[in-house]
Structure 1
Amino acid sequence: MNSNPAGAPRLRAFVRVLLSGGVWSVIAVQIAMLFLLRAHPEEAAPSSAQLRVGALAALFFALLYVIAGASHALARGRDTVSLPEVLIAGRAVYGRFLWLGFKAMLVFLVLFNLLLSVVLAASGVEMQTLVEASVGLYPWLGALIAFVFVYWMPVIFVHGNFALADTVRTALLALWHDRRQAAYLAFLTLTPTVLAALLRDPPPLPAVVALNVAGGVLGWTAYAFCVSRLQRAGATQPLAAVS
């Protein structure tokens, strides 16, 4: 008889994220970037604009660092992770994580440009018209990428494998075969986008902050859940093999 209810791993992942100060540090950096991005001084001096750009760049790379550190720290154990643990873990993987992200971005841009060229050639519309017509799809594209990342990132950090093609192939195979959990993971990653679509335009800042916090918690819960399943499988079986 199974004494481990199906919802227990999901609850453990959620509680683990809620109690992890290291995860909250990632969300805090995201919120700081949000405030800086939404700050639009009416008459800012050139020096102030340059300072803002520099601060955004610093926060962006800091965000990547704590994401790498939190991902690595969560994948190394089963307990909550603190900010010091995230900072220490980040040193071991930050360089490889940046290089992997750079390669992934290049591949994405190449594929996106190819798709864009095909659509432009087939439709006969101008670039500006197509861009304006597809603006509303960008949040959903981001949500779809986040959904794929939920499968991809655990493969990278649990296996310690930063090879782009190998990890993407493993993640996509897991996504294809993992029908039992796909709906749950889609709920975690897509819910913030659905809620954001219901807000008036432009959305008020408190609502944007709340959605970012909720999205961060749900996204990291999905990551922690997939990590725990790979850990139970000994990092040798696909996610679909683990209940």
Structure 2
Amino acid sequence: MNPDTPSPPSEGGRRLRAAVRTVLSPGIWLVLTSQFALAFSLHWRPAETASAEASALPILLTTTLLLLFLYLQASAFQALARSREAVSAADVVRAGRAIFSAFIWLTLKAGLSLVLILNLLIYLSLLVSGHDFKSVIEAISPWLGPLVGILAFAFVYWLPFVFVRGEFRLLPSLKASLRIARARLSHAGFLVLLVLVPVVVSAFLPAKIPVLLDFAVSVVSGILGWMAYIYCVEAVQEFVPETRSDTVA
């Protein structure tokens, strides 16, 4: 080994770096702010006596905030994958221009694939159980949250791989992320804490909780999610040493 080549960080060092980069990155806080603004806009309801223009305003605002959030999220993913330091708000605003359309297309493909799989599972449940559609949905609904959490954990290296390698094809990136997850299975405990524990905690919270508590839980979950992303980005950068490709397909 070349003595001038820096050795990879220890597991503890990688975890600490993920926490520090998350907290000290203004760009991440910008994304979280846009996410919370989007969440609050979804709860905005105009008065029943409002005009048609006023009634359409929440829809327009929510659509605008959704696009802004998606852009900032993609930009933050890109900026964090290109740097090993904290990222500024300006970095996040600039970074997404080249990859936003590819990210949206990838997100649509992933979302449609998930919907297709869920519909197939519901259809199979109808055939096997003999129950009506409403009964099957009521039986499945409590498990959707935990299922999403399990999928997020299983594919936790997916978006880090996508942005580190510039690989925006759905199936190749999913397969590669699973290979990395399998190879790093012995280090999965930290990711369980970051990804699965918030899902378990949310499952035990009552349906209606105070707004401030809901906001606090969302902040903590968001921070832990970004810590998981940064941790996985650095792991992918070391696991896949090839030169980054800037080609998006």
Q: Normalization by structure 1: what TM-score?
A: 0.90
Deviation by residue 1:43-87 (Cα, 9 ceiling, x = unmatched): 362433311111111111111101110000000010111111111
Q: Is 1:14 matched with 2:19?
A: yes
Mark the CA change 1:69 to 1:4 in structure 2 (over 3 Å): closer, same or farther.
closer
Contact 2:155/2:174, CA 8 A, preserved across alignment: no
Equivalent residue of 2:84, what SS? coil
What amino acid sits opposite 1:142 in the alignment? Answer: V
Contact 1:75/1:154, CA 8 A, preserved across alignment: yes
Mark the CA change 1:148 to 1:61 in structure 2 (over 3 Å): closer, same or farther.
farther
* Paired position in structure 2 for 1:233: 239
* Paired position in structure 1 for 2:147: 141
Mark the CA change 1:140 to 1:44 in structure 2 (over 3 Å): closer, same or farther.
farther
Unaligned 5+ segments in structure 2 are 1-6, 243-249
* Paired position in structure 2 for 1:241: none
* Paired position in structure 1 for 2:32: 27
Contact 2:45/2:58, CA 8 A, preserved across alignment: no
Contact 2:157/2:236, CA 8 A, preserved across alignment: no
What amino acid sits opposite 2:116 in the alignment? Answer: V
Aligned equivalents of 2:238, 2:8: Cα separation in 1 = 16
Q: Is 1:36 matched with 2:10?
A: no
Q: Is 1:106 matched with 2:105?
A: no
Shift of 1:189: 1.0
Report how many residues are paired.
236
Identity %: 36
Shift of 1:39: 3.1
What amino acid sits opposite 2:91 in the alignment? Answer: E
Alignment of 1:44-83 (within 5 A): 45=50, 46-83=52-89
More helix by share: 1
Q: Is 1:97 matched with 2:103?
A: yes
- Note the aligned Cα RMSD (angstroms): 2.1
Q: Is 1:176 matched with 2:182?
A: yes
Unaligned 5+ segments in structure 1 are 237-243
Mark the CA change 1:44 to 1:208 in structure 2 (over 3 Å): closer, same or farther.
farther
What amino acid sits opposite 1:20 in the alignment? Answer: S
Contact 2:155/2:178, CA 8 A, preserved across alignment: no
Aligned equivalents of 1:110, 1:93: Cα separation in 2 = 26
Shift of 1:10: 0.2
Mark the CA change 1:33 to 1:89 in structure 2 (over 3 Å): closer, same or farther.
same
